[in-house]
Structure 1
Amino acid sequence: MKKQRARAALAATGALAAVILGVTTNAVSEKLPSELTENSPLVWVLFAAAATACLGIAIWQFGAPLDDGPTGYKASARRIHRQLMIQRQRIIWIDGALAHSLETISKIELGIENKPDAVQRPWTFVLREGGSFPQKIDVQKSISEIFDQTGGSLLILGHPGSGKTTLLLELTKELLDRAESDSELPIPVVFNLSTWGRSQKAFEQWLEDELLRRYTVPRKVAREWLSNDLILPLLDGLDEVRIDRRAQCVSVINRFTDSRGLSQIAVCSRLVDYDEIGSRLKLNSAVAILPIPPDRIGAYLESAGDQLEALRGAVEEDHQLRELLTTPLMLVVATLAYQHGSTAALRTRMAGGDRRTHLIESYIQRALDRPSSYGEYASKDVLRWLGVLAHQMLKHDQTVYHVEWMQPTWLTGKPLRALANWTFPVLLASAVFLITGYTIDYVNELGAQLFKKSNEVAIGGISSGWLTGLAIGLLVLIFGLDHQIRPAETIAWSTQALRANARRQLRSGLITGTIIASAVGAIMQVWGLPTLIFFFVMFELICVTFYLFVGGVSPALRDLHTIPNEGIRRSLRNALLVGLPGGVLVGIVTGYAFGSVMTLQFGLIDGAVAGGSVFLLTALHAGGRAWFHHMALRLALRLSDQIPLRWVRFLQYATGNYLLQRIGGGYIFVHRVFLEYFAQMHSSADTGTPAPEGREKAIDGSGQ
């Protein structure tokens, strides 16, 4: 039935379009039949009715509900999306985060113990061998084997720097290998729970949003994956959820697991923070990472030889320092910070004060002393800029920082935000207004001299040229304004997106077309009614076609970012790729139309104005707006001294000096402990910028 309706609508629309085209063509050549010209008012009423009917049928057809068919998207697309997602998880979390984590560098085997009381088990989970007595989980096995023993329902606990996330990523690696070899298994996907605390959505809706936002999975694909249990959630950072929302987060996870039955899931959290929540996750089992015993700390330092002799001596003498090094993170930080140091100097530096803070600061100072191929920066500037980055990452619940994700909310104070939001749209709209207004006025004066026909129409003392410039300038201002930066990284056109957006796009096209066509009609009215009608209909159709084309743009699973700020670069590229063909096509059509009525010179000038306007509006919509806004934001942040002018170069500098770690096209701090340290330092230095509530943790000397 829907196919028959579509064919009927297409035929009716084509027939009416042919009528419109024939009438306008004859009108401009003044070859209309006498029967029509003698009753011109009635003719134009019928003409307008036919055009309205044509557009109405298009609205009816495009606005009809979309029937995807019984099979959804094609099997080949399913395979491609699955392969891309597995590849994405491997590049981000295995080749990126796991391979370069500080805990991995230590290569110390982690001790694990059972924590059965940490979870509210739906049933008492036991493993039976041969139908005999129940056994506990064998913690001597690998994390993937433990996960299998628990039936794929596990909570991983530990102190800061103990290697919780590293253990979760080792599990991710094994599960990715399995999913790659068996297409029936779900795709393991790492999610950071901190972003749930900001949205507080239903858990499945949050997962869907994260797949779209973090991994650029089209919403339709994400929804199908989740509804068919094709995603295995690996949830990191329960302790990173705001304190007042952690209990609620536990509740929504429990509701999710209750509704999913035997679906697999793993959750990771700091031990102390989890115990403070009070409520328990409904999982099959829990394990906790044990501190490194003193004998293994000594063996590890001994294996490094003379370069850690001073640190070995300090550990033997200082009980507090020895307790601090019971986590893989602090052990590696100490070895990197105190290489080739003297025992006396280390003893003096450790005397009094907070050893944990001193250890972190010593690591940072050693990192800043390293030479870099990305230039030299003053230490105070590096600390300030990293403090800003850490504060903003906590504020915006970002585990991985991408340059293209920066928003005007990075700015403090309304004046700076207004500068970032309004600067480029106002400047661009003003330039378009001046250039267009002057050009059209010049063309009108030239036409009056050549053809002895004055095109000049004034409203309120403002000429038609400047009125047209004002109309186009206002459109540029509207297209350029956006309070959020939304990179247009992928341009994919689909009939599904067109059907979904048709009503809105047709309405916008008709409004825009009427504004522009009326301005052109005011100029061309001296050439007679047929010519006026021709140009009015032409510009109306151009605008409607433009908006319908833009409405068909839909997101697609794009390639993984491997270059910093790649999203903004792609936005600029897509703006040019989409804007140029449309601008050139409209410029040629408009230039030919004006040139055939007037002269070649008029055709060139008017074609340039029309084509340039379409190019600008299309490019803004297809990514140019995001590029301009991003650059304006970077400029405002530089003026407020929150980031350096060459921000990406600085991030590369911090990465090369082992303060940041690059993952694909994004960055993370080498460990969350350092993110919290820099964020707290920023909040202490800038009393006007309080720390995000419940997120930044004190850096104390407990090692916990």
Structure 2
Amino acid sequence: MPPLKKIFFFRILLGLITVVIGTFVVGYITELTAGDFKSWIESIVGKENVLLTLIGLGGFSAVLLLVTYLIETKPEPKEEKKSIKDAIEKAISDTREGLIKSYQSRLDSKMAQRLPINLQLKYTLEGTTTKAKLYDNRTIGEKSIKEELISIFDKHRGRLLIIGDPGSGKTTLLLQLAVTLLKREGVVIPIIINIVTWRKRFNSVEEWFGELLPQMGFSKLLAQLLIKEHRILPLFDGLDELAEENRKPCLEAIGEFGKTNELEYVICSRKVEYAQTVDAPVYCEIAVKPLTLPQIKKQLKELGAPEANGLLDAISKDNLLKEIIKVPFYLNTAQILFSSMITLEELNFKTTTLEERKEELVKMFIDQQLIKMVYPKEKSKHWLSFLAFNMNKPVRNLVVFELIDLQYNWSTWTKFQLIIARFIKGSVISLPVGIILGLLYSWFSESWTTTMGLIFVVLFITMMGLIMGLQSDIHFLSIKTFGIISFSIKGIISEFKKRPLFNLILSLLFGVILGLFSGLYYGLIAGLFFFLWINLLFGSLAAFKSFSFIHIKKPYQRFSNSFLFLNFSIIQHWFLRCQLYKKDLLPIKLVYFLNELTKNYLLESDGTNWRFRHKILQDYFADKWKGELENNNSVN
């Protein structure tokens, strides 16, 4: 074991031993005085001086804690600088690693990365409306895409606009650029920013990032540092998904952002929607063009996949299919469809126009993939439609879904359901207080037993739940977590390194006080528990307030991390999930369902959140839910 680790290990061991011995000694003394702490104090200082003595002891303890805290939280200037620098470098390294994993995971689920791409470059001096004399049409093979992208990016001073038709591979291109830039280990950090997160209230891109980055796992200090030092290279995705009235102010804010020190950025948008808005301040426009038929045939033959021959045969017989697969999304969709060794005759296409054939292909693809699920096909369609419809709502406009996004405003509720939901919210809020009060009463009162303490907890929670259940505001039901707090054994060690004496004294005093009132056994347990909890809590808070990046790795991580702060919002979440299941809006095993959809190429996931493989699929299911609502309204 390295010397430093040995020191930290022995410090913690010494701390635990100190708490045990200190609590034992005081508990033993208390036992010798028959456990009557009040009488014991009175016999020493007199009945009239008990309160003054307790205040004095409390004041002395507070001063002692304050002095030790100030001593231990005042590092030497050189150490402080070095510590901050190391923390920043580690946070940036963690950020790069986390983003690479996330973006690469998305790329792995996109089959489009196996294909070549056709790009048309239009060079401009400022914006894209200026008619440039030089155009460059080129085809880039799938093996050299990343190198070509970096070359184009560097040549045009990091100011690019990527446009194309729906499904042409714009986001795939952006992901490949992001991963390549992240691996270059530059000063700036490339981050894909969903433009739909822009809000009217933002006066600048910096203000936008200041609110967005903490939601992505950046601590506030790290986010502020990256913004202040211009170390963010934003890759803006989905301009077309932003409400039309917000596009102009958003692009104007990006333009102002770019004026500062010639900052780099990339904007990605559908071609038609971009043409309807103001000009983007870039130096090169990259138009992602459709694939050519010779490219597709060559790629399918080289691929050697099971679907190749069937698809080649189909496009030789069906002109509409031949045309729509020039768009990578539809080619990938057709590849997956034909991978089941189905033939063109078995598909039996009915449509006669290009747009109808696109929708028919998507419908057949969805039907085939849902048949592979353990859930009934129509049920899965129904649940997916509900999810897509709510993600598309203007008040949310979600591209990525995470469990915490599921809220009570996703559906309508009866008055009774709302009362129960508010009762649960009130119970969740009052649960920590009730537990603490119940323990204190059962420990400090001679007439109270542990059973009575538990009864008190139940009654207190019930009473508070009923009181809060009368609240009428729907916003009261919002489910919140401390999502970017991370805690582990490392957190305990890190915190103890900073303030060993302060945490020892605080824990010892806590154990002593309980030991005096309730005896050795409870004091010992409480002192040990408090010692561990105070290091864990302060260590997590320190990470939140320092330069750190926390990569959310598991679906329930935001909820489990909140337990440290006695936030049990997971209870609310599960109740909401049960209610949505009873209304047949979502399955009870939601995470399993979403992961199954990911395996069947309908969704993408990085392990913690999910998105539809393409906006085309999201819009398809959202429109299907609208149709269900219209049918229900017409029946009623």
TM-score by length of 2: 0.71
Higher relative contact order (CA 8 A, sep 6+): 2
**1:565 equivalent in structure 2:** 556
**1:75 equivalent in structure 2:** 85
Give the deviation of 1:475 after TM superposition.
Answer: 7.7
Moved more, 396-405 or 135-144: 135-144
**1:144 equivalent in structure 2:** 150
Distance 1:71 1:629 in 2: 43
Say if 1:389 and 1:102 are closer, same or farther in 2 by CA, change over 3 A.
Answer: farther
Q: Structure 1: which 5+ runs fail to align?
A: 1-20, 127-133, 448-454, 457-462, 500-512, 521-529, 533-540, 576-618, 691-704
Give the deviation of 1:418 after TM superposition.
Answer: 4.9
Deviations 1:670-702 (A, max 9, x none): 212111111121122124999xxxxxxxxxxxx
Say if 1:470 and 1:363 are closer, same or farther in 2 by CA, change over 3 A.
Answer: closer
Say if 1:542 and 1:242 are closer, same or farther in 2 by CA, change over 3 A.
Answer: farther
Q: 5 Å matches for 1:266-415?
A: 266-277=266-277, 279-297=278-296, 299=298, 306-316=309-319, 318=320, 321-338=321-338, 340-344=341-345, 348-351=349-352, 354-369=356-371, 371-372=372-373, 375=374, 377-395=375-393, 396-413=396-413, 415=415
**1:4 equivalent in structure 2:** none
Q: 5 Å matches for 1:482-501?
A: 483-487=478-482, 490-491=486-487, 492=491
Distance 1:567 1:391 in 2: 24
Say if 1:154 and 1:72 are closer, same or farther in 2 by CA, change over 3 A.
Answer: farther
Moved more, 78-87 or 54-63: 54-63
**1:523 equivalent in structure 2:** none
**2:256 equivalent in structure 1:** 255
Q: Structure 2: which 5+ runs fail to align?
A: 1-25, 141-147, 470-475, 500-509, 519-526
SS at match of 1:197: coil
**1:100 equivalent in structure 2:** 109
Number of equivalent positions: 554
Give the deviation of 1:160 after TM superposition.
Answer: 0.6
Give the deviation of 1:145 after TM superposition.
Answer: 0.7
Are the counterparts in 1 of residues 113 and 172 from structure 2 also a CA contact under 8 Å?
A: yes
Deviations 1:301-323 (A, max 9, x none): 6766531255223444x4xx444
Give the deviation of 1:143 after TM superposition.
Answer: 1.6
Q: 5 Å matches for 1:5-16?
A: none
Give the deviation of 1:385 after TM superposition.
Answer: 0.9
Letter in 1 for 2:117: E
Distance 2:328 2:311 in 1: 16
Does residue 1:112 correspond to 2:120, yes or no?
yes
Say if 1:436 and 1:567 are closer, same or farther in 2 by CA, change over 3 A.
Answer: closer
Q: 5 Å matches for 1:188-199?
A: 188-197=190-199
Give the deviation of 1:438 after TM superposition.
Answer: 13
Moved more, 652-661 or 248-257: 652-661
Deviations 1:47-88 (A, max 9, x none): 54774697699899989xx99967385332223212211111
Work out which of the two has the higher radius of gyration on C-alpha atoms and give 1 or 2. Answer: 1
Q: 5 Å matches for 1:39-58?
A: 40-41=47-48, 44=51, 48=55, 51=58
Distance 1:152 1:659 in 2: 33
Say if 1:644 and 1:118 are closer, same or farther in 2 by CA, change over 3 A.
Answer: farther
Among 629, 640, 647, the residue aligned to 2:590: 647
Letter in 2 for 1:114: K
Give the deviation of 1:466 after TM superposition.
Answer: 8.0
Are the counterparts in 1 of residues 391 and 399 from structure 2 also a CA contact under 8 Å?
A: yes
TM-score by length of 1: 0.65
Are the counterparts in 1 of residues 127 and 283 from structure 2 also a CA contact under 8 Å?
A: yes
Are the counterparts in 1 of residues 118 and 139 from structure 2 also a CA contact under 8 Å?
A: no
SS at match of 1:334: helix
Give the deviation of 1:222 after TM superposition.
Answer: 1.7
Letter in 1 for 2:369: A
Letter in 1 for 2:116: I
Distance 1:443 1:247 in 2: 65
Deviations 1:613-635 (A, max 9, x none): xxxxxx6x345x13222222211
Distance 1:417 1:62 in 2: 46
Are the counterparts in 2 of residues 390 and 678 from structure 1 also a CA contact under 8 Å?
A: yes
**1:587 equivalent in structure 2:** none
SS at match of 1:229: coil
Deviations 1:658-680 (A, max 9, x none): 21222233222121211111112
Distance 1:213 1:266 in 2: 21
Distance 1:67 1:263 in 2: 37
Distance 2:57 2:443 in 1: 36
Letter in 2 for 1:333: T
